[in-house]
Structure formats: C-alpha cells, structure tokens
C-alpha cells in the first residue's frame, strides 16, 4: 500500500492492508510503544480475528511488524491487554534476568463451525521473550473460564499496593465489569463486580481501570473505570482499594470520553515511564456502519493517542484529553488570523485535508457559530457552537461520500454542554482526510467523527449565523504525513 489511497489517514494509524477494530495490548517497553490490534489477516471486513502489531518510539510514527497472535483451529483471538512481567511472576522466563511480556486476551471458541452462534469465551495468555516480536500461547490455557458465552476483553495491570495483578473483564449482557486478582497471571480469583451503572443501553465491552492524575494537584489522582457500550464509551470516577471500585457519582450519571460517533473500544497504555500521564487510544469507527466505510485496501483506523488528566470543578471530576505532544513535530508553517470579527461566513486563507487547527472564539450571544472544514461546493463538515444550548456538535451530513450506508449521515455527535470560559470557547481540531477529532476547552469535551470528503473538498471557513463572533486567534498548521 502507498498510504496515498483515497481517504487514507496521514497521521492516524491504520493497518497497511485489511480490517481492524479494537486497539489491543497497549504497552510501553524498552523505548517502544506497542500497538496490537484486532485484525483480519484474510480480508477487509471482520473475521479470523487475530492480533496484528505495530510499534512507535513517539506515539506518532508507527512501524508495522509481523502478525503477533494468529487465530488457531478452534478459537479467534479477541481483545485484551499486555503486561511486562518484570519479576517473572509467570515463570515464563527461560534464563535469569529475562523479562516476559504477557498478552491476556479472550479466546472466542466455536466448537462447531456450522454453529457460529454457539460460542464460548474464556481468558487466555501468551508470552514473548523477544520484546513482543514472537509469541507463544500458554499450554495451560484457559487461565479463566466461567463457562460463559459472553465474557471478554481482559485488561490486566500490576497493582503495586497489593503486589498483584488485577484483571478487569466484562459480562456484556449483564452490564457488569468483573475484577479478578492473580499472583502469577495464570491463576485468578474473583474480587468483586461493578455494575449495572451509567449507560446500559447497549452491551458492555472493553473495560479499563486506571489511575488518572488530577490537574493542578501534583501527586494526586483518582481511579477511572472505562467501558464501551456498543456504539460509544463511558467512564466512572472513584476509588479502587485493590478489591472493589467505588463510583463516587450517582449510579445513573453518564460521563463520556468522546461525544462523536466514531470512538470505541478505547484502552490505555500499561507500564508507561514514571511521570507520563496515561495515554488512551480508541478505534475511530462505529459498529453501525464500520464494515461499509468506503476504504480499501484497509478498513478502519485508530484515534490519536490522548494524554489523560482529571479536572476538578467543585465536587466533580471530568476527564481532560490532550492529543499527545509529539504530534506537534508534524506541524508545517501555520496560517493565522488574529482579532477578527465574523458575521455570516468568511473563508480562511488556507486549505487542506491534513491539518491541525487551534482557535479561540468569543461566540455571538445568539445563534450558531463555528468552523467548516473539508469545505467546497456547498459541502463541509461543520463544527458548531450553539449559544442558546451551549452545545458543540459536529455535522457530517453534507460531507463527501455518505451514501455507502443508510445510517452514516444521520449518526451524529451526542449532545453535551461546553460552557464558555470567561466568555470564550477554545477549539482544537485535527482533520486527517477521513477522521476529524475536535477537542473543546482543553479537551473537556472531545468529538471524533469520520467523514469521506472528495479530494476537492479542502476549504476552511468560519461562520456566525446571528451576530458577530470574534476570533481572538485562529491558527491552521498543515501536518506532515507519518508515512514516507
């Protein structure tokens, strides 16, 4: 592949060929950020699920490696995580000083191929003694079997205060996240259950539990429990004592890491260098139309890696997400507006489909204002702020190719408020051919949206439908491709 195909993201990771869904096994080790991912080695739609593999030194430039964990006769390799077993608790090391990497994943077992719906899901492990290049499936698998049809997506991490491994899994239909503990990654005992809570409108998948630092309170953090539910994600904030997670919000509170239609199955890195904030990567797609998006020879991409913090406002905590700093190395010379008043609509003096935009606005007191990207011929993806409702939305209904699926144009961003800060709205956006990520007010609200604009749709405009919107500053950087 050339990475020059129509709609191919230039700074988001996508596999050279074939289908991908969830990111798996995110782990940092010996200077490398590993990205494993759900992958079909045989084609461009879901099937033959296996773990493919890429590595990066900066979370921006990626190198694809050979298939890490292929499906086998009886089972597909579903989502999971990866740990660095520094103390060789698993005993997989073959000589002194060797450090195993251990992958923990769901084996999706179909005993009779003619009945694909009669499956069983159990948790398996595999290990690598060569920094993730080759993998051996453990002969004692499964390591956890509840004799359940749906029981999956293990996220494992080392819990230092209790000197043990913790595994979080989901019982998708029950809307439960389960916690298990282990001294050696091979034997697991049940600790507690969490849920149902929050959004239970769809099945739960891909859980994660991690500590997130609190902005402006050095050394302080809270526990965040994340999960996906069919078409979007949610998070809970609270405490974890090594056995039980306590949600500190009422059980019906729904908090979302992303309000766009295309952010799913997000998990965070294990084993990051001390002092580095947690990093979250999601799958930039939506099961409603995922297999129909008009791309070839690959299908689907990962979101940008995002650094996480929590922001405290009175007594509630909100996740703050920032695209990782290293992305700034891709910037070419920017074009800038300063102190400009917009009424109606005005074209910005730059173009492109691969760019970063930073803007600070004082929205008009009434009506809708915002930014159009991938704009031309009456088409655009529209990022808008509504003064009355204080909501930011992304509308892709009049972008390029929206016809490949009946639902695509109408699946839009979820609704949430983005209160102005001192009368101002900050928008930080990344357009990468077919993926738009918008970070509002320093990442308090994030919206990830796919669009499939024709190559000729490359304009940028600011608009204010009712009154004057002041652009304090607007800057657009063309971004260099990460694929040479």
Which CB sits closer to ligand FRU, 21 or 234?
A: 21
Which CB sits closer to ligand FRU, 48 or 480?
A: 48
150 near ligand FRU, judged by CB under 6 A: no
Map 395-453 to HEC letters. ECCCCCCCCCCCCHHHCCCCCCECCCECCEEEEEEEEECCEEEEEECCCCEEEEEECCC
Residue 63's contacts (CB-CB under 8 Å, 6 or more residues apart) are 54, 55, 56
128 near ligand FRU, judged by CB under 6 A: no
Can 112 be counted among the known catalytic residues? no
In the structure encoding, which two tokens stand for residue 136, read together?
């051996």
299 near ligand FRU, judged by CB under 6 A: no
Residue 3 CB-density burial (10 A; 0-12 exposed, 13-18 middle, 19+ buried):
middle
Q: Which of 26, 49, 302, 394 binds ligand FRU (CB under 6 A)?
A: 49
What's the min distance (Å) between Cβ of 22 and ligand FRU?
5
Whether 440 contacts 370, CB under 8 Å: no
153 near ligand FRU, judged by CB under 6 A: yes
Tokens 């406002």 belong to: 313
106 near ligand FRU, judged by CB under 6 A: yes
Q: Which of 40, 75, 79, 469 binds ligand FRU (CB under 6 A)?
A: 79
262 near ligand FRU, judged by CB under 6 A: no
75 near ligand FRU, judged by CB under 6 A: no
- Binding to ligand FRU by CB under 6 A, coded x per residue (else -) over 201-220, reads ----xx--------------
Catalytic residue among 22, 258, 277, 405: 22
Which CB sits closer to ligand FRU, 106 or 399?
A: 106
In the structure encoding, which two tokens stand for residue 353, read together?
């489909």
Which CB sits closer to ligand FRU, 179 or 263?
A: 263
Distance of CA 368 to the CA centre of its chain: 29
Whether 483 contacts 3, CB under 8 Å: yes
292: three-class secondary structure by DSSP: helix
What's the min distance (Å) between Cβ of 130 and ligand FRU?
26
Which CB sits closer to ligand FRU, 25 or 400?
A: 25
CB neighbours (10 Å) of residue 314?
4
Whether 295 contacts 289, CB under 8 Å: no
22 near ligand FRU, judged by CB under 6 A: yes
CA nearest 346: which of 460, 462, 464? 462
What's the min distance (Å) between Cβ of 5 and ligand FRU?
24
What's the min distance (Å) between Cβ of 190 and ligand FRU?
20
Active site amino acids: 22
Q: What residue ranges bind ligand FRU (CB under 6 A)?
A: 21-22, 38, 49, 78-79, 106, 152-153, 205-206, 265
């Amino acid at each position: 592949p050339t990475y020059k195909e129509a709609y191919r993201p230039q700074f988001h990771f996508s596999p050279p060929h074939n289908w991908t869904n969830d990111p798996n096994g995110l782990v940092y080790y010996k200077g490398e950020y590993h990205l494993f991912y759900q992958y079909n080695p045989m084609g461009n739609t879901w099937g033959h699920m296996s773990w493919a593999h890429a590595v990066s030194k900066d979370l921006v430039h990626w190198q694809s490696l050979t298939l890490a964990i292929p499906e086998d006769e009886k089972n597909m390799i579903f989502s999971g995580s990866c740990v660095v077993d520094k103390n060789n608790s698993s005993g997989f090391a073959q000589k002194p000083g060797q450090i195993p990497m251990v992958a923990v994943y769901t084996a999706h077992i179909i005993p009779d191929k003619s009945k694909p719906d009669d499956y069983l899901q159990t948790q398996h492990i595999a290990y690598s003694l060569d920094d993730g290049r080759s993998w051996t499936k453990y002969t004692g698998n499964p390591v956890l079997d509840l004799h359940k049809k749906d029981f999956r997506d293990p996220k494992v991490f080392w819990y230092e205060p209790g000197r043990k491994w913790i595994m979080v899994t989901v019982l998708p239909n029950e809307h439960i996240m389960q916690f298990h503990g282990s001294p050696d990654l091979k034997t697991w005992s049940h600790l507690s259950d969490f849920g149902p809570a929050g959004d239970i409108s769809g099945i739960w998948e891909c859980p994660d539990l991690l500590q997130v630092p609190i902005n402006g309170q050095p050394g302080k953090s809270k526990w965040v429990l994340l999960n996906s539910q069919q078409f979007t994600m949610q998070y809970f904030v609270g405490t974890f004592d090594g056995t039980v997670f306590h949600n500190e919000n009422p059980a019906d509170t729904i908090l979302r890491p992303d309000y766009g239609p295309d952010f799913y199955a997000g998990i965070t890195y294990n084993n990051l260098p001390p002092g580095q904030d947690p990093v979250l990567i999601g799958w930039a797609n939506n099961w409603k139309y995922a297999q129909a998006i008009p791309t070839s020879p690959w299908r689907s991409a990962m979101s940008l890696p995002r650094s996480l913090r929590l922001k405290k406002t009175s007594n509630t905590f909100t996740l703050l997400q920032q695209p990782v700093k290293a992305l700034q190395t891709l910037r070419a010379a920017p074009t800038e507006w300063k102190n400009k008043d917009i009424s109606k609509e005005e074209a910005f003096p730059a173009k492109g489909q691969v760019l970063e935009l930073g803007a600070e606005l004082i929205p008009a007191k009434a009506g809708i204002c915002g930014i159009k990207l991938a704009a031309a011929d009456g088409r655009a993806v529209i990022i808008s702020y509504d003064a009355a409702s204080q909501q930011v939305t992304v509308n892709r209904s009049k972008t390029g190719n929206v016809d490949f699926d009946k639902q695509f144009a109408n699946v839009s961003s979820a609704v949430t408020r983005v209160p102005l800060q001192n009368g101002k709205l900050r928008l930080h956006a990344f357009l990468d051919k077919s993926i738009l990520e918008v970070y509002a007010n320093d990442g308090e609200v994030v919206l990830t949206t796919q669009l499939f604009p024709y190559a000729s749709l490359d304009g940028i405009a600011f608009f204010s439908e009712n009154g004057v919107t002041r652009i304090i500053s607007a800057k657009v950087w063309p971004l260099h491709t990460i694929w040479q």
